[in-house]
Structure 1
């Protein structure tokens, strides 16, 4: 086992490589041109981007577009720009230090602080998994008429899908993820072609307004969008999966790896922005402009799309994209859960066991809420899960910004002054928005 790089403190004696079964398993071409090298690096960014377009995003984007038209597009854009910066930092941490974010926390914080951070991260993963469970169950109901409660139970079976995919290697897993992303993007190109949104309204919506802060209902949805876009577990995920590439361990090799990982992540998150914006634009163009400002449920949007757009296939395409989104998010959520548990606790569980535990913790509240409140309760739980994710964000962002600004941890790849300033500003905005939400709730 290779020794880990030096950090501000000595790493745990029981240190092991992040995702050891896939660590440095993907060879890189030697002496190849830029585009070939970039293609070899491409992949981790798309696994991360999946978390930025999961079913939780659908709930917040549909609710925001229906109630407020294009106004919250600015929140989608700003959230995505913040995500690009934070994910670039996450990738740099993995490349420069050889540690994922969970391992770095364990190496540099006291045990009580590490345990608290681990528990908060687990809550975030459960909230994310809850969104995946509900989104997949809703898609199964819309496509096949399966009752929502049974759909929630069926989602436990996707554990075996993940196990089957991982047997074919990490590169094949990435290819499967990208294929599903292209299906989702294609579905929304079709939907937007039918909806014919007001492009002037779309452009105006990209400019922030003070209404977002002064309108409590708009602020609640805005923070839900933030939580659904900048997801804490993705910061742990990216710092690990970037290490699946066998890049050079000298200074030049690490600099190139950080550069390629940043390009990969930025392009992938550009696709995520298109899909998130497309969901909100579709809701605004189809429902808000028709006076239907009350459409906040995914299944209601499904029922109204076909008659509103005049094409029967519109609703089916919408549900297919939702199912693909739920399955994609399930895969990356599993990897993030494995990374967090191994990094914080050095506790290695079989993937199927880890997944079953996390999924059970999501299924139980989902079944209770669906049984008690029906479909409306499911959608409200989706939006709430995204707000919970947003509240967890500072506990992942602050350590990440601190570590990536440290020369003792990052060496020559430590964030320059301008990047540290930008990263701390993003952290302050996230904390400020969360404080505003909590004050309003209290």
Structure 2
């Protein structure tokens, strides 16, 4: 399979940073394990707790089969997401950008951001409730201090993807062990638990809760996330290597998602054993469950474990939500901003509605806000799942790794069920709101929004079938054609120029040559900033490094055609430090840099190079705007 237009790398800081190619069998196996655990935390976040608690307290063990079914659905869809990332080297956002028209992509981007904000809202509320239950701190303060967990992600990113995965797995283990301890204290009747896996829907209320459980299980941001996380593994790009990666990632997903299922099942079984059996069938709020645990189990440890698990679930989901936000922004908009700013924006989008709800309506409305966040998530699901199935079904781009017809049929059935159930849940919520409020204007707006929603859903289904996945030139890492234009008379003798492979390069090269002469040798410098390059330096062999070397060679060939001597040097890791090092090592007597023309806060957002470089070299520096 050839890919004439390669995309920007997904999660470039950690792209192909885990080498799986030259290890013993067990080390290779362990090297693949990790991405699915980061994904699995989305399946046990605070947003899922409310539906599990409601299901267990109202219907005992009878809805356990719904959890199992939704887990199998999740496993199918997450394996498709991983397949897209492994085979095509695209995450879902990048693949959408290449396929759909710009206006549709922009709407899909906005919807994806809303989904991530809704996810983060559930984490904020969950952590704040957990802190309140553990320490008695008012909810408003708990919500406010969650902004500081921004820095946890920054610290983790400094240590690489494996340390981040270890941190998340530790939090998942805390959640799992907390509920295992709770179940030991609750002593459920295992015979009755097993009967819960026999499908049955006692009444309409049970159906509604079942829809809620399924709707809260598969979340759109996880599909974006998984397709990018699998690319942190450096694999052999031959048939054997790709098949092995697909197999091991499926095993990884199976183990991780089954662990998430066990946590959700533990919450439901706990609610069934403690609340349903004692006649407390009204429990759906997390705070209520916490208050009753000590009374009904006769142990002070039970509510503490419950609160600790809630905080751990919220914190772990928070990290993965931020990564998903980065993937969505870079994939759809080609915009890379500093991780701390991305994290801060995501968190503020979640904190502001939470604070306003608490201030205006009071703590008692927090539960409703948690439910609303899940409804928002439900609305976005089709816009992630439908394109994904299109992409992994297409033989033109997936080759022999396109999914088989039986898998395709299963995927469309699962998608139809999920989209129908989610639409039904949203419709029920909207109808209830219109009936209770009696506001016709709001009702009209909601109906108009619903129509727009359905039209967009139809576009996502039909457009890929019409466009036949034509790859757009905009999907390339670098411009496919380079023209150097008219050259001026040279002035200096060994001129270095730092290139970023953008449209600005022509201007930089022309300015450099204008200062040389016939004896001048030109030094073309480019710094590779992928995660693999940051960790392995010159030993890096990821897609971005190879494409950057090809681009340098293209420039050198074009210059040679104009009888201009040139040499290309790739640098790695820190941009400014590497430019300085190469200029000194190559004894350049002049340096040309590109300037982006932004200052102040924009330098914080995008980073700055020119100022750092000019203070550390002893040669003239020309900054070309």
Query: Which interval holds the TM-score relative to the shorter structure?
Result: over 0.9
Structure 2 residue 11 is the aligned partner of structure 1 residue 19: yes
Within 1, Cα distance between the matches of 2:313 and 2:239?
A: 38
Structure 2 residue 302 is the aligned partner of structure 1 residue 305: no
Structure in which a larger fraction of residues adopt strand: 2
Q: What's the counterpart of residue 146 of structure 2?
A: 155
Within 1, Cα distance between the matches of 2:169 and 2:248?
A: 18
Structure 1 residue corresponding to 2:359, chosen from 371, 394, 398: 371
Q: What's the counterpart of residue 30 of structure 1?
A: 22
Within 2, Cα distance between the matches of 1:55 and 1:265?
A: 21
Question: For the structure 1 residues 133 and 438, does the alpha-carbon distance in structure 2 shift closer, same or farther, using more than 3 Å as the test?
Answer: closer
Structure 2 residue 101 is the aligned partner of structure 1 residue 110: yes
* Pairwise CA distance, 1:416: 0.7
Structure 2 residue corresponding to 1:128, chosen from 119, 128, 136: 119
Q: What's the counterpart of residue 178 of structure 1?
A: 169
Structure 2 residue 54 is the aligned partner of structure 1 residue 57: no
Q: Deviations over 1:39-67 (max 9, x none)?
A: 11000010000111111111221122112
Contiguous gaps of at least 5 residues in structure 2: 432-625
Is the radius of gyration larger for structure 1 or structure 2? 2
Q: What's the counterpart of residue 290 of structure 1?
A: 278
* Pairwise CA distance, 1:32: 2.2
Structure 2 residue corresponding to 1:84, chosen from 70, 75, 80: 75
Q: What's the counterpart of residue 341 of structure 1?
A: 329
Moved more, 129-138 or 201-210: 201-210
Structure 2 residue corresponding to 1:414, chosen from 396, 402, 414: 402
Structure 2 residue 216 is the aligned partner of structure 1 residue 224: no
Q: Deviations over 1:101-156 (max 9, x none)?
A: 00000011111111121111111111100000000001111111111011001111
Structure in which a larger fraction of residues adopt helix: 1
Structure 2 residue 306 is the aligned partner of structure 1 residue 318: yes
Structure 2 residue 388 is the aligned partner of structure 1 residue 400: yes
Question: For the structure 1 residues 5 and 337, does the alpha-carbon distance in structure 2 shift closer, same or farther, using more than 3 Å as the test?
Answer: farther
Q: What's the counterpart of residue 249 of structure 1?
A: 237
Q: Deviations over 1:380-438 (max 9, x none)?
A: 22122122212211111101111001112212211011111111111111122123334
TM-score (norm. length: structure 1): 0.94
Within 1, Cα distance between the matches of 2:185 and 2:76?
A: 34
Contact 2:201–2:207 (8 Å) recurs in 1 = no
Structure 2 residue 33 is the aligned partner of structure 1 residue 42: yes
Q: What's the counterpart of residue 137 of structure 1?
A: 128
* Pairwise CA distance, 1:176: 0.8
Structure 2 residue corresponding to 1:389, chosen from 377, 381, 385: 377
* Pairwise CA distance, 1:228: 2.2
Within 2, Cα distance between the matches of 1:199 and 1:368?
A: 44
TM-score (norm. length: structure 2): 0.67
Q: What's the counterpart of residue 94 of structure 1?
A: 85
Within 2, Cα distance between the matches of 1:95 and 1:62?
A: 37
Contact 2:215–2:418 (8 Å) recurs in 1 = no
Question: For the structure 1 residues 25 and 31, does the alpha-carbon distance in structure 2 shift closer, same or farther, using more than 3 Å as the test?
Answer: closer
Q: Deviations over 1:368-388 (max 9, x none)?
A: 222334333112221221222
Q: What's the counterpart of residue 201 of structure 1?
A: 192
Contact 1:297–1:376 (8 Å) recurs in 2 = no
Q: What's the counterpart of residue 67 of structure 1?
A: 58
Within 2, Cα distance between the matches of 1:373 and 1:225?
A: 26
Within 1, Cα distance between the matches of 2:366 and 2:2?
A: 45
C-alpha RMSD of the superposition: 1.6
Q: Paired residues, what number? A: 430
SS in 2 for 1:287: helix
Contiguous gaps of at least 5 residues in structure 1: none
Q: What's the counterpart of residue 223 of structure 2?
A: 235
Q: What's the counterpart of residue 6 of structure 1?
A: 3
Moved more, 76-85 or 373-382: 373-382
Q: What's the counterpart of residue 548 of structure 2?
A: none
Within 1, Cα distance between the matches of 2:409 and 2:364?
A: 42
Within 2, Cα distance between the matches of 1:299 and 1:210?
A: 27
Q: What's the counterpart of residue 353 of structure 1?
A: 341
Within 1, Cα distance between the matches of 2:2 and 2:197?
A: 43
Within 1, Cα distance between the matches of 2:23 and 2:43?
A: 34
Question: For the structure 1 residues 395 and 5, does the alpha-carbon distance in structure 2 shift closer, same or farther, using more than 3 Å as the test?
Answer: farther
Within 2, Cα distance between the matches of 1:329 and 1:84?
A: 18
* Pairwise CA distance, 1:233: 0.3
SS in 1 for 2:362: helix
Moved more, 114-123 or 125-134: 114-123
Contact 1:49–1:272 (8 Å) recurs in 2 = yes
Within 1, Cα distance between the matches of 2:192 and 2:376?
A: 30
Within 2, Cα distance between the matches of 1:207 and 1:432?
A: 23
Within 2, Cα distance between the matches of 1:227 and 1:356?
A: 27
* Pairwise CA distance, 1:182: 1.1
SS in 2 for 1:398: helix
Q: What's the counterpart of residue 424 of structure 1?
A: 412
* Pairwise CA distance, 1:31: 5.7
Within 2, Cα distance between the matches of 1:134 and 1:326?
A: 8
SS in 1 for 2:411: helix
Contact 2:143–2:354 (8 Å) recurs in 1 = yes
Contact 1:65–1:284 (8 Å) recurs in 2 = yes
Q: What's the counterpart of residue 156 of structure 2?
A: 165
